[in-house]
Structure 1
Amino acid sequence: MIKRYKLLIEYHGAYFSGWQIQPDATTVEGELEKAFSKILQQPIDLIGQGRTDAGVHARGQVAHVDLGDDVDVQKLIFGVNGVSSNHVFIHEIEEVKADFHARFDASSRAYIYTLLKRPSPLHHDIGWVIPKDTDIRLLEECATLLIGEFDFDGFSKFNEENYTTLCTIFNAAIEEKEDRVLFHIQANRFLRNMVRRLIGTMIQVGIGKIKLNDYRELLFNPKADVKSFTAPAHGLVLEKVFYEN
């Protein structure tokens, strides 16, 4: 009998070319499938809730996998973590319903982008250093505009697989700390490069390179003649994937 399991995965994106398997590249999905297959001595297919780009990190990536009921899953995960790279770790495994789907059953996802107020050797690979004269108040105004459903075509990289570029933002907020600024965002779905282009363009507003009205125009009119800017991947972390049940 086959059982389905949900996995909670953390990884440091700097060491991977994203989540999805690619030829001649080290990816999170590829690393984990290789580890599962090595231990079980059979091919294993992991299904992730979605892709993360090269360099993007995760604290709460979710995937599902089907395993035989004769498998000691706790022992298996201990083994997978032991043979996998130190830059990826499975924190939890739990049995779920047979029809559970990591991607299609997800109701929303939450990301955090870390902006550093000053250079930090300890955090340089998980945060983007912003200019000292960045107006945090303008970043807050940009974030406030995002709540609701919008066409984010102007803030995303073209992807022929998109059936729509509409996304609903449930939460978007700026949290200022002593040495950093955190951009929190939660939505039902995200487009390719979407969060990075949102925060990258917000910084352009914050340093006076473009106007707040330009940001607003691109949000309400994705075909507007306004250029978006892409923030580096290493400041972005997938924090959590939400499921209704």
Structure 2
Amino acid sequence: MKKYKLTIEYDGTDFSGWQIQPKDRTVEGVLEEAFSKVLQQDIDLIGQGRTDAGVHARGQVADVLIPKDKDLEKVLLGVNGLVGDEIQVMHFEEVPEPFHSRFDAIGREYEYTITTRPMPLLRHTTWALRQPVELDILEDCAALLNGEFDFAGFSKFNEDNFTTLCDIQRSLFETEGEVIRYRIRANRFLRNMVRRLVGTMVRVAQGKMSMDDFKTALENPDAEIPTYTAPARGLVLEKVFYKK
């Protein structure tokens, strides 16, 4: 068997997230089924991490073991044909046997897209705001996030978390006309973390929450200050980083 690292793009609108579930349609489940049909044997994909229902990816990473006698380019032509336009394996490379998509990752980058009015053509990949936001306040909120913080107050509880500390290396908003993009890169992310950060920052920028409360929630996760979750559809996993 040879191990390959796959880079996968998908529209998560009609999926119940990445991770296989017993009854629901997931990205991992559809891909594994396609690989198994093409190769005529059971195949196990190992993803770098999960994405929630409705979240998209431009750079999801998974690793897979493929029989040595198979031409992976031909295998992927078959897989991409079976999974349809919602999912595509965009790139592959052979990696050493010890490689692990999740445990070898040193960073991830997400992008969240907001529009300042409903845009029908972007409705599946953006959050359309119905009320105005102060862009300078969004930028101030984002600037506060650079560094290491305990994000327990901005995440959904997960008993598998060995720590809720995350080191943010990049956090900024970029505006182009009626489109606002938030980019965030960190060594790791907690479940719902990016969406809760975005939702809460928007609340602050709409005057529905004070900057002091946002700072307190960031600095003291036990403060029990309510946070707000942005819709899944605006979130895209952009890239996963590994040591060279």
**Normalising by structure 2, what TM-score?**
0.99
The residue identity in structure 1 corresponding to 2:95 is V
- The alpha-carbon deviation at position 224 of structure 1 amounts to 0.9
Corresponding residue for 1:10?
A: 9
The residue identity in structure 1 corresponding to 2:117 is R
Corresponding residue for 1:65?
A: 64
The residue identity in structure 1 corresponding to 2:215 is R
How does 1:171-190 map onto structure 2 within 5 Å? 171-190=170-189
Distance 1:128 1:180 in 2: 10
Corresponding residue for 2:226?
A: 227
Distance 1:114 1:69 in 2: 41
Q: What do residues 130-188 of structure 1 show as CA deviations (whole Å, max 9, x unaligned)?
A: 24421111110110000011000000001111111010000000001112100000000
Distance 1:208 1:131 in 2: 14
Corresponding residue for 1:202?
A: 201
Corresponding residue for 1:41?
A: 40
Corresponding residue for 2:106?
A: 107
Corresponding residue for 2:169?
A: 170
RMSD of the alignment, in Å? 0.7
Number of residue pairs aligned between Structure 1 and Structure 2: 244
Corresponding residue for 1:125?
A: 124
Corresponding residue for 1:85?
A: 84
* % identical equivalent positions: 56
Corresponding residue for 1:22?
A: 21
Distance 1:231 1:84 in 2: 28
**Normalising by structure 1, what TM-score?**
0.98
Runs of at least 4 residues off by over 4 Å: none
Task: Please state whether the residue corresponding to 1:14 is helix, strand or coil.
Answer: coil
Q: Does 1:192 align with 2:227?
A: no
> Is the contact between residue 140 and residue 174 of structure 1 (CA under 8 Å) also seen in structure 2?
yes
> Is the contact between residue 115 and residue 128 of structure 1 (CA under 8 Å) also seen in structure 2?
yes
Q: Does 1:243 align with 2:224?
A: no
Corresponding residue for 1:151?
A: 150
- The alpha-carbon deviation at position 226 of structure 1 amounts to 1.0
Task: Please state whether the residue corresponding to 2:121 is helix, strand or coil.
Answer: coil
Distance 2:217 2:113 in 1: 23
Structure 1: runs of 5 or more not aligned: none
The residue identity in structure 1 corresponding to 2:134 is D
Distance 1:156 1:181 in 2: 23
> Is the contact between residue 31 and residue 85 of structure 1 (CA under 8 Å) also seen in structure 2?
no
Corresponding residue for 1:116?
A: 115
Structure 2: runs of 5 or more not aligned: none
